[in-house]
Amino acid sequence: MFNIKSNIMGKPIKEINLQTNPRIVNASENDQIFIKMEIGNYHAGSCLVNVDGVHVGSGYTVLQPLGDAKALQNSKIRTLATITDFSPANDKAVLTTQFLNQDNVRLFFYRLGIVS
């Protein structure tokens, strides 16, 4: 869903709200799970990660341990990214979200290209 919230310096701000959609992260019970979020191509912004309503990490790039897969089995992980500066060359930004295990094996990958 795209929603124009306000504008800054004459440019609209878009809110992109991806509807709740349970994602499957294929992990074994013994895996330690990490989330990695990146705002690509040196765009300005910040990411925020909550697990069951508790803040666990934030920053331009987040690489945060979340815990073992068995404990996270019924958890709700919420992510939020704010991108404040897009590429002047093409008015685009990229947000990448990954779930990894302790061996840096990618369990889930999602890349979102955003046009300002």
Mean pLDDT by 10 residues, the chain (116 residues): 43 62 81 87 76 85 87 86 73 83 92 73
The answer to whether residue 24 is domain-embedded is no
The answer to whether residue 17 is domain-embedded is no
Residue 77: per-residue pLDDT: 86
What would the 3-class secondary structure string for the chain be? CEEEEEEECCEEEEEECCCCCCCCCCCCCCCEEEEEEEECCCCEEEEEEEECCEEEEEECEEEEEEEEHHHHCCCCEEEEEEEEECCCCCCEEEEEEEEECCCCCEEEEEEEEEEC
The answer to whether residue 26 is domain-embedded is no
The answer to whether residue 8 is domain-embedded is no
Number of domains in the chain: 1
The domain of 94 spans 33-115
Residue 3: per-residue pLDDT: 41
Residue 44: per-residue pLDDT: 72
The answer to whether residue 50 is domain-embedded is yes
Residue 105: per-residue pLDDT: 94
First to last CA, the chain: 14
Sign of torsion over alpha carbons 14, 61, 54, 19: positive
Residue 106: per-residue pLDDT: 94
Residue 23: per-residue pLDDT: 74
